[in-house]
Amino acid sequence: MTDAAPPLPGYVRTKLVDPFEIFVGPVFETGAPGARHFIFRVDERHVNMRGVLHGGMLMTYADLTLGAAVWDVTDYAPSVTLNMHTQFLKPCRAGGIVEVTPVLTRRTRALVFMRGEFTVAGEVIFTAESVWKLLGQD
């Protein structure tokens, strides 16, 4: 899947470094750091035996995109996910394009609070909120 083209015009491939993200990707983006909009196209690898996008893939995509947004606001400071809360609102099938613009809820010295509404064809299918810890910061 490393040679896949962007599913929509105007997007570039998101640079992924984690082996698990490269394995499930690719992911594409547009916009400047701090306001990046991400998309990925659901394919046969990402669905369950009923043909529905797997929650594990959505949560991985949430960790990836909200984590990228954390990097944007912390100038790539090392951080880890402390918590993620997710809600699954609507199923999605192969061929769907899942979009998100992560939103910064709050940043403190040691913590970053992020959230995202994930849409397919303009409808919200999934939401995620995550808390990140900046390593070495009290």
| 118 belongs to the binding site for other proteins (CB under 8 A) | no
Nearer CB in complex with other proteins: 74/86:
86
- Per CB under 8 A, which region of 5-13, 26-34, 73-81, 105-113 contacts other proteins? 73-81
Phi, psi of 117 (to 5 degrees): -105, 120
> Among 53, 64, 44, which residue's Cα sits nearest to residue 126?
53
Q: Which of 36, 38, 60, 68 binds other proteins (CB under 8 A)?
A: 60
Q: Which amino acid is at 11?
A: Y
Minimum distance, C-beta of residue 78 to other proteins, in the bound complex (Å): 8
| 5 belongs to the binding site for other proteins (CB under 8 A) | no
| 101 belongs to the binding site for other proteins (CB under 8 A) | no
| 102 belongs to the binding site for other proteins (CB under 8 A) | no
| 23 belongs to the binding site for other proteins (CB under 8 A) | yes
| 93 belongs to the binding site for other proteins (CB under 8 A) | no
Q: Which residues contact 110 (CB under 8 A, 6 or more apart)?
A: 133, 134, 137, 138
> Among 45, 50, 71, 57, which residue's Cα sits nearest to residue 134?
71
Q: Would you call 26 helix, strand, or coil by DSSP? A: coil
Binding footprint of other proteins, residue count (CB under 8 A)? 35
| 64 belongs to the binding site for other proteins (CB under 8 A) | yes
Give Cα 82 to chain centroid, integer Å. Answer: 16
Q: What span, in angstroms and rounded, lies between the C-alpha atoms of 83 and 133? A: 9
Positions touching other proteins (CB under 8 A) are: 17-21, 23-24, 44-50, 54-57, 59-64, 78, 80-88, 91
